[in-house]
Structure 1
């Protein structure tokens, strides 16, 4: 297999359906997009691991939902890792890539080396927020943190909040391809039972449960290297796992790193403040600065142009 064919499936989400089992799913590969998310921060390894898992979940869940703007994951806890936040921005036009970004907030001094990363989130909640854009009320679903991973939390969310049996198989970490530098690679498969018709007969419900159980047993056979590639392409992986379930694939969706921050948005966020408030934010060298938590962009602004009393208000 050529390097070109390997790279063709990096940073993509491939939707599919198992026609025999009435199950839908996604195969995701994140490579450059994930590397760009993590390279903007100096995260300890255990925090990088949590962010990588959250990004992969976000890419698959975001592509599942018919979005007009943004889907976000928010994981909050009372442990050393206080917050993991991700955003998936839907494509703005046909053929355009989706965009993903993420960041983590943590107490470096409280992190415990050698302790499972998920355990360092502590007690808290897992939330999915769907924002369909201006004039629309965002939807938010929340479940308590449970299980032993963010993946367990995502499965519990769909079971409890959406009543949709859902399963994920993920693999992620730093790897090296021949002739390339070490960088992050991640891959995964998402299975989701399609909504059942109300009033289904008991025998039909039993058959659907058998289909779901069989698909899960097949997914259990997947190997980590098959998930992250690059030697096994997503369509080939589906045939390896589910050939008897008649997998049918749809158009893949490209996923790139991308941030929505801008100087205009910074100015808008400061437009509610008075000149006196702006003065308290002004640095000794006479500027107001702001940094984007997601991408690290740094903005330096003239305080005279800020706030509702400034020229930019």
Structure 2
């Protein structure tokens, strides 16, 4: 049964993951477009601009990789390194929620010559918790001072052995309302098991109707898919006026690209007053006493979303000083 053919949508939508397939090239992938969601994540922290940009790249990469999980799954990306940004931590709760934080040396960040210098050398870990009774999985790859894109490529080359191309882009738009962060990402993977090419929902170029599609060997197919995907410009990934579908059409229209239902994304922390309360109740009274501030209360601030919650020490068997 042939896939339906329809017109490419020109509607630009932010905060989505759009899965796609170029079946004639045995290639699948996902396109991420982030607007208000990534701006909310970064504005909560007020990090220096280079740190915000790096954290947005990490969040985009985490969404690209974690968006294959089922609804109850969780994906975590974490770096530990000797660079000015010593740690990046991104949690993606499938299918849509993301939160992130960074730890860094402000003076070293100011002296860094480029964004890649911020990461330094260390390791990048991906932790996958598919939920249910399934086991957790962790993949680790070295950070070698070349940035997150290079680390992702190294991971797939050495660990997954799936031909993969990853593109990440972060920038700001300036309007009368002010400055706003944006991010975008593209992952393209060669999956020969996807089977023979089928009719796509975007017309494959200007060939006459009824023309038999050109079949390629798998290696040649990936070479072509990678070459096409590599033409993606950073500004295209974050352009608020360019729809995700139109960008995919630009890249793959000669071979036909099939898109699937997009998933909406949101900046959403999983912290809660109930969770903090349960944590406090796990501490003995003597440790609780050390948490009491000058105002006689216990203040707990979430590192991810910067939400501060205040608790009465009397509720935990401790008298105020």
Does TM, normalized by the shorter one, top 0.5?
yes
Q: Any unmatched runs of 5+ in structure 1?
A: 92-97, 198-205
Shift of 1:112: 3.8
TM-score (norm 2): 0.83
Residues in 1 aligned to 2:145 and 2:167: alpha-carbon distance in whole angstroms: 15
SS of 1:221's equivalent?
A: coil
State which of 146, 161, 165 in structure 2 corresponds to 1:163. Answer: 161
Shift of 1:302: 1.4
State which of 124, 127, 132 in structure 1 corresponds to 2:125. Answer: 127
Residues in 2 aligned to 1:283 and 1:214: alpha-carbon distance in whole angstroms: 62
Where does residue 222 of structure 2 map in the other structure?
Answer: 212
Residues in 2 aligned to 1:221 and 1:90: alpha-carbon distance in whole angstroms: 30
Report the aligned-residue RMSD: 2.2
Residues in 2 aligned to 1:245 and 1:135: alpha-carbon distance in whole angstroms: 40
- In structure 2, relative to structure 1, the CA distance for the partners of 1:221 and 1:121 (3 Å cut) is closer
State which of 296, 303, 313 in structure 1 corresponds to 2:313. Answer: 303
Where does residue 95 of structure 1 map in the other structure?
Answer: none
Contact 1:28 1:60 (8 Å CA) reproduced? yes
- Aligned pair 1:46/2:50, yes or no? yes
- Aligned pair 1:104/2:102, yes or no? yes
Deviation string for 1:264-311 (max 9, x for gaps)? 1112222331111111121122211111111000011112323xx68x
Between Structure 1 and Structure 2, whose CA radius of gyration is higher? 2
Residues in 2 aligned to 1:81 and 1:138: alpha-carbon distance in whole angstroms: 27
Where does residue 73 of structure 1 map in the other structure?
Answer: 77
Shift of 1:222: 2.1
Shift of 1:22: 1.0
Residues in 1 aligned to 2:22 and 2:123: alpha-carbon distance in whole angstroms: 32
- In structure 2, relative to structure 1, the CA distance for the partners of 1:214 and 1:261 (3 Å cut) is same
Residues in 1 aligned to 2:13 and 2:27: alpha-carbon distance in whole angstroms: 22
Alignment map for 1:1-313 (pairs within 5 Å): 8-66=12-70, 68-91=72-95, 98-133=96-131, 137-146=135-144, 148-176=146-174, 180-194=177-191, 207-306=217-316
Q: Any unmatched runs of 5+ in structure 2?
A: 1-8, 195-215
Residues in 2 aligned to 1:6 and 1:176: alpha-carbon distance in whole angstroms: 22
